[in-house]
Amino acid sequence: MGILITAFNTILYQPLLNVLVLLYEYLPGHDFGVAVIVLTILIKILFYPLGVKAIKSQKALSGLQPKIKEIQEKYKENKEQQTKEIMALYKREKINPFSGCLPLLIQLPVLIALYRVFWHGLQPEQMTLLYSFVPSPGVIDATFFGIINLANPNIVIAFLAGIFQFIQVKMVSPKSKKDKKQDSSFAGQMQKQMQYFMPAFMVLILFRLPSAIGLYWITTTLFTIVQQYVILKKEK
């Protein structure tokens, strides 16, 4: 366990802390919120290829819904065969129904590391973890534009994060409303849960965390929305 904690600190926590301090020191205005936004964009650029793959997979999954509904109707009396046919469809189309969750799972360790950075990393004693080429800022002012203290929870930022999360998921959801029958497929249920449950879950979580995490989530979601718009426009 000690080896895992040491590896986590060395690979994620310490580098993120150092990059954040560097941005805070050298960006104009010494604004902590701006440093968080720039750090988020750098992380999204790092994971950009993975994000493109996940967006395309989510959209392809949405496009399969009419075929999935046909299978459900054809095998409505045989749930076992229905499941087999749907999984065979995924295999033929080379689509993984879990692929939409992959970016979130990969971001989870980064989120945990950022949580630690925003919760403990701003304390003066944590400055001993800075690399030799990173100047120590002493005490970091955690305010955003001198208004919001990002070291504390903020309900407005939490709700904004939930709203943008809803918009992001909605963009890759099926647009057709002709079929009013509830989609009982695994992928359909997953999409509906992602669309409504995830934004509400994010609000509840972020409401209790430092609002710097919420600002990170807002920035990463907005980046993903723009990324989705560009990719889906190209696909059309």
Q: For a pLDDT cut of 90, what percent of the chain falls above it?
A: 24
The answer to whether residues 59 and 235 touch, using CB atoms and an 8 Å cutoff, is yes
The answer to whether residues 61 and 54 touch, using CB atoms and an 8 Å cutoff, is no
Distance CA 95, CA 59 (A): 10
* Residue pLDDT, tens place only, 18-32: 999 999 999 988 899
Is it the case that residue 179 has pLDDT exceeding 60? no
pLDDT of residue 187: 53
Q: Whole-prediction pTM value?
A: 0.78
Give, in order, the Cα–Cα distances in Å from 196 to each of 70, 146, 148, 170, 193: 25, 33, 28, 9, 5
